[in-house]
Every structure is written in structure tokens, then in C-alpha cells.
Amino acid sequence: MAKLVFLCLALAPLFIHPGSAAPLLARPRDVPTPTPAIPPTSLTLSAQQQDYSAFDLGTNLLTPSSTITPLSTLPPQCSDATTASECPNAQYAAAEVTYDDCGSSWTICRCDTANMTLDAAAARLGQVPVGLRRYVATVVVAPAPAKHAYTLVTGDIHIFGEPEVDAWVHEAGHAYDWASGTPLSGSQGWTDALAADTCVPDVYSQTSAGEDFAQMTVMMVYSLLHGGALPPGWSGDCMARQMAYMAAQPTFNKDDLFGNTCAIADSQYSRHAVPPPVVPTRIQPDFPAQLQPEAPLKSSLGLPGLAAAETSEEDGTKHDNSASALYVGHAKIVMIAGLVAGWLW
Ligand SMILES: *[C@@H]1O[C@H](CO)[C@@H](O)[C@H](O)[C@H]1NC(C)=O
């Protein structure tokens, strides 16, 4: 029986009060039996930058219009023990959110005491480009002292606090990574890319091949929105193979990614492929490349660093935190959730 545990490691104690840092249990549902995941070992590649605080995809990505329809009963994904425990002393309400770019809806379950309103959650999920959003299954929105999120191999995303669009894109990257049941981040191509490159984008990317894949998803979306340019402070050279792997995936075909319809015929693993009644005509704008700073932004080398987080706490910038997911089970690793992001103010 697929059983798994999500553990908050490393920096989690900095962001999550002790009561919520306990291991969480969850069961994957409706997912092809995953092949054993690559173990979530840290990467030894250097981090190009400390974190992703230098940019915000939320200012670039359009928001599709949506309609929200309350559901009278909670779907099973929102009533299992783990999910219930994430909404202490309160209750979930479920709703179907239909965007104008897709004929099938997304279910969002929101805890009454969640920091994010349902409207805000629907808008932020909507900003995830449709070519990635189509891999997202159910979204659970829950309260927490610090923002963070994780994704199950089922494609279900659990959001805590009020993470920015970058974090939603990161989680959608996990859902995409795992959509077939065999993660792309465990593929020979990704492994070879990591072996050939000399850096990853930021400290959080060093957590594992899977977290790097999700962070690189955010990089790719940025790059596609900026005429192929990377954000200020990043250079493509040392992570060229990772970028090339990403760019070769049909999901990162720009016309489809921002194409106003989830009916994209490139993948049998999409969870939302029903065309919208009318394909919207809005055009996702391109943005000019940002000027590269003369001196590198604060850079960081080495393995995921606690010291870095402490610095960040003082200077008040946001940054990804480092939580990670491990499996528990017999022979099989059934999940790498990815979690992510806690930011401090
Ligand atoms: C969420 O709301 C609670 C209660 O108001 C608050 O203590 C907590 O700091 C908030 N979390 C975030 C990430 O804003």
C-alpha cells in the first residue's frame, strides 16, 4: 500500500511552528504506481543566487477570468486525515473553479481559517500558465504561520499562508514532473543535464533533482516571458543543459504554454484537456530583458544553508525555504512531494 510521509526538514523549523512540523501522512490517490523515485539527495552543484527574490512572475502573468461554484460535499482529496489535520479546529469548503481557458474545472478546498481567500487562491492558480496548470489536480488552501506549499504525486497541491505566483508555478512544476507517474526529474536526460552543468539556479534548487526541476520550471516561465532572457543576476552558461532539457519539453512550447486553452494534444498525462467553449483571445505580453547587474547579486555557494535563511530573516527579503519530502514504505518510494516555499517578510 502506498504510504508516504512528508517531512519538513532543514529550514522548516524557522518557518513552521513546532506544532505543525510533525511528519504528515498522506496517501496518493488515482495515480499510476510510481516507479521508485530517485532519492531526494542534495545536489552538489553550486547555487547561482541565494533565492528568487529578484523577480516576481506575478507581475508578468495574466489572470484568466474564472467562475467559482461551491460544492456541497468535500471530495475525498480534501477529507483524508492529513488534509483534515492541516485545518485544525475549522472546516473545509470545496468549490469548482472554471477558468475561461479550459472546459474542465479545478477543485479548490479552502479551510475556513486559511490566510488566502478563495478568490485570491483562484486568481493565483489562474496565473499559472495553462500549459502547466493543466497538470494540477486538487488544490487545498490551509492556514499556517509562514507561507509554504507542497505537491503530492497525485498532482494535488497544498498551499499554506499566501505564497506568491512563483511558488504556485513551482508546485505546478512538481505536478508536471510527476504527471506520468515516472518523474522527469529522475530521467536520464535530467540526470545527464545535472552531471554536465556546474550550477543550479538557487540554494533551494540544491535540495534535490526534483526541487531543481521545479525551480527550473519557474526559470523557464520567466525566460519565455522575457524573450529568452534570464532574471537579473542569472547567467545561462553554468546551467545550460538544464535549460536545454526544459526547453525541449513540449510543455514549454510557448504558444501552448500561454495558449489560452488547456486542450493541448502533446501529453496523455494532462489532468485538464477539455477545450473551453470559446478560446479567449488575450495575448500574454512579452517583457523586455531586465538589465543585468554589473556585480553579481549576493551569491551563495555550497549546500542549502541555514545561515542564508537567517540572513534573509533579518533583511526581510523573501526566500524559498527548504523543506523536503521523503517517502516511507517498503520497497518503493512513492512520493517526493515537493515542498517548498516559505518566505519571510
Ligand atoms: C495566517 O494567519 C494567521 C492568523 O491570522 C497568522 O498568525 C499568520 O501569521 C498568517 N500567516 C501568514 C503566512 O501570513
Nearest CA to 136 among 98, 174, 100, 187?
174
Quote the cell numbers at residue 159: 498551499
Cβ-based neighbours of 120, under 8 Å, separated by 6 or more? 162
Residue 19 has pLDDT above 60, yes or no: no
What integer is the mean pLDDT of 185-208?
97
- Cα–Cα distance for residue pair 312/263, rounded to 1 Å: 41
Nearest CA to 121 among 75, 168, 155, 172?
168
Lowest mean pLDDT among 52-56, 168-172, 174-178, 330-334: 330-334
What integer is the mean pLDDT of 65-93?
97
Residue 49 has pLDDT above 70, yes or no: yes
Residue 97 has pLDDT above 80, yes or no: yes
How crowded is residue 27: how many other Cβ atoms within 10 Å of its Cβ?
15
For residue 38, what pLDDT band results from cuts at 50, 70 and 90? low
Q: Which helix (H) or strand (E) holds 242?
A: helix 240-248
Encoded amino acid at 52, one letter: Y
Report which protein residue has its CA nearest ligand 1's atom 10: 145
What integer is the mean pLDDT of 197-214?
97
Q: Which of 18-22, 123-127, 315-319 reaches the highest mean pLDDT?
A: 123-127
Distance 260 CA to ligand 1 centre (A): 34
Distance 224 CA to ligand 1 centre (A): 33
Q: Which helix (H) or strand (E) holds 95?
A: strand 92-99
pLDDT at 290: 85
Kindly give the number of the ligand 1 atom that is closest to the alpha carbon of 146. Answer: 13
Quote the cell numbers at residue 86: 492541516
The single-letter DSSP state of residue 300 is B
Kindly give the number of the ligand 1 atom that is closest to the alpha carbon of 161. Answer: 13
pLDDT at 41: 82
Lowest mean pLDDT among 5-9, 77-81, 281-285: 5-9
Residue 22 has pLDDT above 50, yes or no: no
- Cα–Cα distance for residue pair 213/132, rounded to 1 Å: 13
CA dist 43 to 68, 136, 210, 345, Å? 41, 26, 10, 27
Report which protein residue has its CA nearest ligand 1's atom 2: 115
Q: What is the pTM of this model?
A: 0.79
- Between 85 and 10, residue with greater pLDDT: 85
Lowest mean pLDDT among 1-10, 71-80, 130-139, 288-297: 1-10
pLDDT, the chain, mean: 80
Report which protein residue has its CA nearest ligand 1's atom 3: 145
pLDDT at 65: 98
Domain locations in the chain? 49-293, 296-344
Nearest CA to 109 among 70, 81, 164, 153?
70
The 10s digit of each residue's pLDDT in 282-323 is 999 999 998 877 655 544 433 333 333 322 222 222 333 333
Classify residue 233 as left (phi > 0), alpha (psi -120 to 50) or beta: left
Residue 45 has pLDDT above 70, yes or no: yes
What integer is the mean pLDDT of 28-33?
40
Kindly give the number of the ligand 1 atom that is closest to the alpha carbon of 160. Answer: 13
pLDDT at 230: 97
Pocket test for ligand 1, best of 16, 115, 159, 340 (most atoms within 8 A of CB): 115
Residue 4 has pLDDT above 80, yes or no: no
What integer is the mean pLDDT of 245-274?
97
Report which protein residue has its CA nearest ligand 1's atom 5: 115
Cβ–Cβ under 8 Å, residues 82 and 330: no
Long-range contacts of 57-60 (CB under 8 A, 24+ apart): 57/127, 57/164, 57/165, 57/166, 57/169, 57/218, 57/221, 57/222, 57/225, 58/124, 58/127, 58/164, 58/165, 58/166, 60/222, 60/225, 60/285, 60/287
What integer is the mean pLDDT of 88-98?
98
For residue 39, what pLDDT band results from cuts at 50, 70 and 90? low
Q: What is the DSSP string of 304-338?
A: --HHHHHHHHHHT---------EE-SSS------E
Report which protein residue has its CA nearest ligand 1's atom 1: 115
Ligand 1 pocket by Cβ (under 6 Å): 115, 143-147, 161-162
What integer is the mean pLDDT of 104-123?
98
Distance 108 CA to ligand 1 centre (A): 20
Distance 279 CA to ligand 1 centre (A): 38
pLDDT at 249: 98
Report which protein residue has its CA nearest ligand 1's atom 14: 161
